[in-house]
Amino acid sequence: MEKWDLLNRVFSFLLVFFFSFNCINGESPYRFLTWNVTYGDIYPLGAKQQGILINGQFPGPPIEAVTNDNLIISVFNSLDEPFLISWNGIQQRRNSWQDGVYGTNCPIPPGQNFTYVLQVKDQIGSYFYFPSLAFHKAAGGFGGIRIDSRPLIPVPFPSPAGDYTILAGDWYKMNHTDLRAILDGGHDLPFPDGLLINGRRSNGFTFTVEQGRTYRFRISNVGLSTSINFRIQGHKMLLVEVEGDHTLQNTYSSLDIHLGQSYSVLVTADQPPQDYYMVVSTRFTSQVLTATSVLHYSNSAGSVSGPPPGGPTIQIDFSLNQARSIRQNLTASGPRPNPQGSYHYGLINTTRTIRLMNSAPIINGKQRYAVNSVSFIPADTPLKLADYFKISGVFSLGSIPDNPTGWWCLSPYFCHGC
């Protein structure tokens, strides 16, 4: 009897240990997506164009995830040229070779597929994805990314009644291959033909709200060449997050959003029940382009009326003052409540200072961009593979100087996001 009692105790202990071990080491959830990238007819500015669609959609399908989720995205390239997707703002911790740019990934050949394996490790916030090769972004292929906090992680504002994504930016009627040829010929891009909001021209998109409730709007500038200003007629915006960081909650009447940036604001429907303009307009341009959408109260007593509200145009100080006003909320929890370690910045010795300056020189007769006078040229072997397998002659460390120079060179070096 004592023998069986001992065996039962041992078995119970092992069972508890086994389940405890698996709970501790359990993986985060997986989300599986399958995308087919094709050409298709789109009419963003009224005239038919050849666009790049993902699963037949322009813009592409949104990605909705929770902190630490694993994203398995199988991309089939049905175009007639190589294709890559980059995930703007995703930190790619432990998997930087999935970044989707020339240098970390081989392009997906026509008729082939590639499966991205991403983990949004320790991240929250608002981002977007876009094609990174051959000026494909000028034809579409972009979409929103939303990463929510895990349920037990406190967020420094009440849950909104709704959550909307706004993808805004400049747009051209020309085919992306024609725009690419202009740059390859050593010329600047022409002035954009218009602005889009979620792939549509003025008043082509409506956001419905209920009076008295608060909504979250995630706004990204997905354009090619132009900064924009965003505003909502008669409403204030409370800034709460910028690309994964909760911010001090300042109130703005309008926000400048530069290329590649994503801002997240709370808007309370506290005005008389009617429809209101949501406006984006170009910044720092001689000609001001404008596009509008509609903020529609569910009990609206009237449609939008009057001209859309104006915003800043060429005032640089407005944008600089806005940038200076944005501060990270250091008292708010981020993706997790227990950050691993802390950094005592005052105790860190500065051993190297790097000054970066961008430029747009003509190199070998072609318009190119450079950082400290060094411009990227594609290598036959992706840089991450060359680094991992220690293949010599593909790139050289230290090819970018610590300070701006007056000369330029070509190098298989890429600084993504600069």
Specify the pLDDT at position 388: 83
User: How far is 146 from 163, CA to CA, in rounded Å?
Assistant: 10
User: How far is 172 from 177, CA to CA, in rounded Å?
Assistant: 12
Residue 202, token pair as written in the block:
């003025």
Specify the pLDDT at position 15: 40
Q: Which residues of 122-156 are buried (b: 16+ CB within 10 A; e: fewer)?
A: ebbbbbbbbbbbbbbbbbbbbbbbbbebeeebeee
Residue 5, token pair as written in the block:
């009692």
- pLDDT higher than 80, residue 338: no
Specify the pLDDT at position 7: 40
- pLDDT higher than 80, residue 344: no
- What is this structure's pTM? 0.86
User: How far is 68 from 400, CA to CA, in rounded Å?
Assistant: 34
User: How far is 172 from 223, CA to CA, in rounded Å?
Assistant: 10
Dump pLDDT digits (tens) for 378-392: 788 888 888 888 898
Residue 322, token pair as written in the block:
């806005």
27 CB contacts (<8 Å, ≥6 apart)? 70
Residue 231, token pair as written in the block:
């505003």
What average pLDDT does the segment 24-29 reach?
73
Q: Which residues of 25-52 are buried (b: 16+ CB within 10 A; e: fewer)?
A: eeeeeebeeebebeeeebebbeeebebb
Specify the pLDDT at position 399: 82
Dump pLDDT digits (tens) for 199-220: 999 999 999 999 999 999 999 9
Terminal Cα distance for the chain, rounded: 73
Instruction: Report residue 407's pLDDT band, with 50, 70 and 90 as the boundaries.
Output: low
Taking residue 291's Cβ as centre, other Cβ atoms within 10 Å add up to 26
User: How far is 112 from 152, CA to CA, in rounded Å?
Assistant: 41
What average pLDDT does the segment 389-417 reach?
71
DSSP-assigned states of every residue in 289-316: -EEEEEEEETT-SS---SSPPP--SS-H
- pLDDT higher than 70, residue 371: yes
Dump pLDDT digits (tens) for 244-299: 999 999 999 999 999 999 999 999 999 999 999 999 999 999 999 999 999 999 99
Distance set, CA 19 to CA 13, 14, 22, 30, 372 (Å):
10, 9, 5, 21, 55
Distance set, CA 151 to CA 298, 336, 338, 406 (Å):
29, 11, 15, 52
Residue 302, token pair as written in the block:
């009237």
